[in-house]
């Protein structure tokens, strides 16, 4: 009996915290290199939207509490990642400005602030302060919660909400996939993170199947695993067939090699 209890706590802990473990090496890499260019912050956007929708879905259709806690922990983790990436990016932009010279003197220019409340679509999710990301997340949560409250009795709405939650999460790797494609390189991206994505998504999909979770969960889990393998293929392809020359010098703003 004691062994079963330990096994239950082990599987529960793996489900709740297993999803955030892949971001530990990426977080350490960004802090060490002081460069966040290799990591797409749209990954954070995807996971924030997906987990907020999943929490709202639970009001219309019950699922295991462990999945609820998984969403809460993931939301907190993505906010921590966003805070780090925003600080690193703004420090890098400010440093670049200060290295400009006019008449032999440093040019002290303030980096233009991009704010959420400016409602400029060109700068969406590229804001200058972490507070702007918080404002956006809060606004989305309030609007989505209000719509859920109004349409909670609609089976079609609830099922659509559940599908959007897991489908959005299934698209988790696509911003990173596109970022790698644009850069023609996976430099700056933690390979450990992607390997952990793959193992975690595989475990999660099997868990959904064994616990008979709603069909939206395991079908989108399979799609997520496919995207993970596509990113791993990029790692292999761009390392074997480099698309751009490697930098000759390394500075504090240059991306370090992927972990």
Domain edges within the chain: 1-94+113-240
Banded model confidence at residue 197, pLDDT cuts 50, 70, 90: confident
Per-residue three-class SS string for the chain: CHHHHHHHHHHHHHHHHCCCCCHHHHHHHHHHHCCCCCCCCHHHHHHHHHHHHHHHHHHHCCCCHHHHHHHHHHHHHHHHHHHHHHHHHHHHHHHHHHCCEECCEECCCCCCCCCHHHCCHHHCCCCCCHHHHHHHHHHHHHHHHHHHHHHCCCHHHHHHHHHHHHHHHHCCCHHHHHHHHHHCCCCCCCHHHHHHHHHHHHHHHHHHHHCCCCHHHHHHHHHHHHHHHHHHHHHHHHHHCCCCCCCCCCCCCCCCCCC
Q: What percent of the chain has pLDDT over 90?
A: 27
169 pLDDT exceeds 90? no
257 pLDDT exceeds 80? no
pTM of whole model > 0.85? no
| pLDDT at residue number 151 | 93
247 pLDDT exceeds 50? no
Residue 142 or 5, more confident: 142
How much is the average pLDDT of 5-25? 73
Mean pLDDT across the chain: 81
pLDDT in tens, 81-107: 999 999 998 887 766 655 554 444 545
Banded model confidence at residue 216, pLDDT cuts 50, 70, 90: confident
76 pLDDT exceeds 90? yes
| pLDDT at residue number 159 | 87
How far is 176 from 182, CA to CA, in rounded Å?
10
How much is the average pLDDT of 172-192? 86
Return the CA Rg of the chain. 20
145 pLDDT exceeds 50? yes
């Amino acid at each position: 009996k004691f062994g079963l209890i330990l096994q239950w706590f082990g599987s529960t802990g793996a489900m709740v915290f297993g999803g955030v473990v892949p971001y530990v090496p990426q977080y350490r890499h960004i802090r060490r290199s002081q460069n966040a260019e290799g990591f797409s912050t749209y990954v954070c956007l995807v996971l924030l939207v997906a987990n907020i929708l999943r929490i709202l879905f639970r009001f219309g259709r019950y699922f295991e509490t462990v999945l609820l806690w998984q969403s809460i922990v993931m939301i907190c983790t993505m906010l921590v990642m966003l805070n780090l990436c925003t600080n690193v990016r703004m420090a890098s932009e400010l440093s670049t400005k200060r290295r400009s010279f006019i008449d032999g003197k440093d040019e002290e220019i303030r980096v233009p602030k991009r704010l959420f409340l400016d409602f400029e679509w060109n700068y969406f999710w590229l804001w200058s302060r972490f507070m702007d990301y918080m404002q956006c997340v809060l606004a989305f949560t309030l609007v989505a919660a209000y719509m859920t409250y109004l349409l909670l009795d609609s089976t079609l709405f609830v099922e659509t909400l559940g599908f959007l939650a897991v489908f959005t999460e299934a698209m988790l790797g696509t911003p990173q996939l596109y970022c790698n494609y644009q850069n023609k390189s996976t430099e700056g991206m933690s390979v450990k993170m992607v390997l952990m994505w793959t193992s975690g998504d595989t475990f999660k999909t099997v868990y959904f199947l064994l616990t008979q979770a709603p069909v939206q969960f395991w079908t989108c889990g399979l799609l997520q695993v496919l995207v993970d393998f596509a990113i791993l293929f990029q790692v292999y392809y761009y390392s074997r067939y480099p698309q751009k020359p490697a930098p000759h010098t390394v500075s504090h703003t240059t991306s370090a090699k992927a972990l």
